[in-house]
Amino acid sequence: MPAAADLRMLGPEMLVAGTALLVLVWATFLPPQRQHLLRWISAAALAAALAVVLRLGTGAASAFSGMYARDGLTVVLQSAALLGALLALALAGAYVERSHLDAGEFYALLLAAALGAMVMAGSRDLIMVFLGLETLSIPLYVLAAFARTDLRSQEAGMKYFLLGAFSTTFFLYGIALIYGVTGSTALARLAGSPGGPMLRAGVGLLLVGLAFKAALVPFHAWSPDVYEGAPLPVTAYMSVIAKIGAFAALLRIFPGTLTALAGEWRGILAVLSILTMVLGNLAALRQTSLKRLLAYSSIAHAGFILIGVAAGSGRGAWAVAFYLLGYTFMTLGAFAVALRVTRGGEEADAIADLTGLASRSPALAAAMAVFMVSLAGLPPTVGFVGKLYVFTAALEAGQNALAIVGVLASVVSAYYYLRVAYTMFTGEPAAGIAFAGDRWLGGALLAAAVGVLVLGVFPSPLTVFVQQVAQALR
């Protein structure tokens, strides 16, 4: 039976899971006009979980028979997941209520996905990783299709689901092969394994599954379509939470476990990273839909983040964590702006809908400009610092090509990000554009903008915080 200490260690996870159930049940008893209470509860739970995560800190490298850990990696990436979920929740509320989506289920699924990402961060066993992955993915499939009468949302849900299930089988096959070699699903056993073709194949198949979640080229194809079709707040949430979960697992498995094989997988990850950066940025160049642009943007950023994993070092790992946190702020910020702007009551999806935004709402346009600049990796924003860290890691590891492709890809990305900014500051606003959203959205927007700037100018505390990740890998 699990020890009491083990259970205490699960505080944040239980808090989130319990709240998901509570929200689900309570929603059926709440009259429609009081559904916003659910939001408060969910937010409170996420915030509390975040507090508990920080409070608990590290100190349990192994629990539940070595299945789970609360080490630096867990703490940092769970914080990222909770932060992302919290911000996404703030973004979603007004949209959910406005679009008459089922609030209880929506929040419950959102919390469940967060739980999945958290579990992926803490798992030290491939079965746990698998279950975490599914806990993360299945809610996202459902959320993508959440606007169930909307053709595009349905399509998004179906594409995501079918391809997700397809990729999951590869992931599982990978676990099976590893199990066949090591006789166990524990990462600890994997670390000590001698290698061999079956192990390589197993790890390769694991990588396929995780790369799919993280939307790395060539396993990315689902993401632009799903991002575009899913309801906007879902897209926002998906773009961060899936990445956090996937990269948590990648860190855990590759630099965290397979150190002996580093010479082999670093090159492969580097190739994936280069493909992802190049294709993601190129395909984003000529997009007209903001959601689709951000989809490709998120693909491209996955490539940048992967640089840190491919470095295979402690520095790379904490750079990944830093980048993910920064990415959470800037991407959710950009989505928050997109949620703010509506066209005839619907999502204003076209980039052209932002034309002249600055004259309608200078603050909103300024915030969007900040996010775009940060996504482009220009200082003084968190996006720059994140890139600085991953490039440093790559160069330290001798992955020069990665760093060079990375910086050049950043330049290409500047084009499409700044095109958005340019659009906002020129021309006359289009007709039918209105602003939506509530204080939560405004608050999230402000938090994201402040986060992007403050972390860009004073990245030091966060840097120290994420460096725990490196300690966990050692």
Partner 1 sequence: MNLALIVALPLAGWLLNALGAGRLSRRAAGLIGVGSVGLAFAASLAAVQRPEVASGWRVVLWEWIAAGDFRLSFGLLLDRLSAVMVLVVTGVGFLIHVYSAGYMGGDPAYSRYFAYLNLFIASMLVLVLGDTLLALFVGWELVGLCSYLLIGFWFDRPSAAAAGRKAFVVNRIGDAAFLLGMIFLALSAGTLEFSRLAEAAGTLAPAALTVITLLLFAGATGKSAQLPLYTWLPDAMEGPTPVSALIHAATMVTAGVYMIARLHPLFTEAALTPTVVAVVGAATALFAATIALVQWDLKRVLAYSTISQLGYMFLAMGVLAMPAGMFHLTTHAFFKALLFLAAGSVMHAMGGVIDMRRLGGLARPLRWTTWGFLIGALALAGVPPLAGFFSKDLILERSFEAARGGPLLAVWLLGLLTAFVTAVYITRAAVLTFGSGESHGHPHEAPPLMRWPIAVLAVLSVAGGALGAYAAGRPLLVSLEGFFELEAHEPAAAPALWLRLITPAAGLLGIAVGYALYRGRRAPRLGWLGTVFEQHWGLAPLYDRVIVGGAKRIGQDLADVIELRVIDGAVNGLAAAVAAAGGAARRLQTGYVRTYAAVLLAGTVLLLGYWLLR
Partner 2 sequence: MSGAAEVILFGAAALGALAGGVGIIASRAPVRSALSLLLVLACLAVLYLLLAAQFIAVLQVIIYAGAIVVLFVFVIMLLHARSGEASPTKLPHQRPAGLVLAAAFLALLAAVVALPGGPAAAPVGQEFGTAQAVGRMLFTTYVLPFELASMVLIVGIVAAVVLGRGPR
Partner 3 sequence: MRAFPLLSILIFLPLAGAVVVALLDRRREAAVRWTALAGALLALAAALVVFWRFAPGTAALQLEEHTLWIPAAGIGYHLGVDGISLPLVLLTAVIMPLALLSSWSAVGDRIKEFSVAMLALETALLGTFLSLDLVLFYVFWDAVLIPMYFIIGVWGGPRRAYAAFKFILYTAAGSALMLVAIIVLFLSSGAAGARTFDWAVLADSPVAMPLQAWLFGAFALAFAIKVPVFPLHTWLPDAHTEAPTPGSVVLAAVLLKMGTYGFLRFLLPLFPEATVRFAPLMAGLAVAGILYGGIVSWAQRDMKRLVAMSSVSHLGFVTLGAFALTVEGLQGSLLQMVNHGISTGGLFLLVGVLYDRTHSRLMADYGGVAALMPRFAAVSLIVVLSSMALPGTNGFVGEFLVLLGAFRAAPVYAVLAAGGVILSAVYLLWMVQQVFHGPVAVVQRAKVVELSARELVLFVPLIALIFWIGLFPGTLLSRSEASIQALVERVQRVQVEVRR
Task: Answer yes or no whether residue 418 interacts with partner 3 by CB under 8 A.
Answer: yes
CB 309, CB 399: distance < 8 Å:
no
**414 touches partner 3 (CB under 8 A):** yes
The residue among 133, 128, 49, 139 whose CA lies nearest residue 86 is: 49
**According to CB under 8 A, which residues from 453 to 472 bind partner 3?**
459-460, 463-464, 467
Whether the Cβ atoms of residue 444 and residue 336 lie closer than 8 Å to each other: yes
Surface-to-core class of residue 71, CB atoms within 10 Å of its CB (0-12 exposed, 13-18 middle, 19+ buried): buried
Helices first, then strands: H and E counts in the chain: 21, 5
For 136-172, letters b (16+ CB in 10 Å) and e give bbbbbbbbbbbbeebebbbbbbbbbbebbeebbebbb
Site size for partner 2 (CB under 8 A) = 41
User: Pick from partner 2, partner 1, partner 3, none: which does 112 bind, CB < 5 to 8 A by kind?
Assistant: partner 2
Query: Could you count the other beta carbons within 10 Å of the beta carbon of residue 463?
Result: 16
Residue 464 binding target from partner 2, partner 3, partner 1, none, CB below 5 to 8 Å by type: partner 3
How far is Cα 258 from Cα 206, in angstroms, rounded to an integer? 12
Report the residue number, 209 or 383, with the smaller CB distance to partner 2: 209
* Contact set for partner 2, span 22-51 (CB under 8 A): 24
DSSP string, 272-320: HHHHHHHHHHHHHTT--BHHHHHHHHHHHHHHHHHHHHHHTSHHHHHHH
Length of the chain equals: 474
DSSP state of 101: -
- CA angle, corner 89, sides to 42 and 346, nearest 5? 135
Q: Which does 446 bind (CB under 5 to 8 A by kind): partner 2, partner 1, partner 3, none?
A: none
Binding to partner 3 by residue 282, rule CB under 8 A?
Answer: no
Binding mask 148-177 for partner 2 (x = CB under 8 A): xx-------x-------------------x
Taking the C-alpha atoms of residue 214 and residue 299, their distance in angstroms, rounded to an integer, is: 8
Cβ neighbours of residue 461 closer than 8 Å, sequence gap 6 or more: none
Stretch that binds partner 3, among 36-44, 128-136, 140-148, 394-402 (CB under 8 A): 394-402
Sign of CA pseudo-dihedral 232, 247, 80, 302: negative
Report what 450 binds from partner 2, partner 1, partner 3, none; CB cut-off 5-8 Å by kind: none
User: Which amino acid does the sequence have at 12?
Assistant: P
Q: Which does 208 bind (CB under 5 to 8 A by kind): partner 2, partner 1, partner 3, none?
A: partner 1
Binding site for partner 1 (CB under 8 A): 158-159, 162-163, 166-167, 170, 197, 200-201, 204-205, 207-208, 211-212, 217-219, 221-222, 224-225, 264-265, 268, 279, 282-287, 412
Nearest-angstrom CA–CA distance, 259 and 395: 18
Is there binding between residue 262 and partner 3 (CB under 8 A)?
no
Residue with Cβ nearer partner 1 (136 or 272)? 272
Nearer to partner 1, 166 or 458 (CB): 166
Whichever of 229 and 459 has its CB closer to partner 3, that residue is: 459
Measured CA angle at 128 (ends 27, 22), to 5 deg: 15
Residue 408 or 434: the one with the smaller Cβ distance to partner 3 is 408
> Quick one: which segment of 1-9, 59-67, 112-120, 397-405 binds partner 3 (CB under 8 A)?
397-405
Say if CB 46 and CB 89 are below 8 A apart: yes
Other Cβ atoms within 10 Å of 436 Cβ, number: 16
- Minimum Å gap between C-beta 51 and partner 1 is 40
Minimum Å gap between C-beta 175 and partner 2 is 12
Min separation Cβ 422 and partner 3, Å = 5
Q: Are 398 and 338 in contact (CB under 8 A)?
A: no
7 lies in the site for partner 3, by CB under 8 A: no
Q: Taking contact as CB under 8 A, which single stretch among the options 52-60, 144-152, 239-247, 350-358 is the one that binds partner 2?
A: 144-152
Considering beta carbons, is residue 65 or 426 the nearer one to partner 3? Answer: 426
Distance from C-alpha of 66 to C-alpha of 187, rounded to nearest angstrom: 9
Is 358 a binder of partner 3 (CB under 8 A)? yes
Name the residue type at position 394: A
Which residues of this chain interact with partner 3, rule CB under 8 A?
358-359, 362, 369, 373, 378-380, 384-385, 388-389, 391-392, 395-396, 400, 403-404, 407-408, 410-411, 414-415, 418-419, 421-422, 425-426, 459-460, 463-464, 467
Residues binding partner 2 (CB under 8 A): 1-2, 10, 17, 20-21, 24, 64-65, 67-68, 100, 102, 105, 108-109, 112, 115, 119, 125, 127-128, 131-132, 134-135, 138-139, 141-142, 145-146, 148-149, 157, 177, 180, 197-198, 200-201
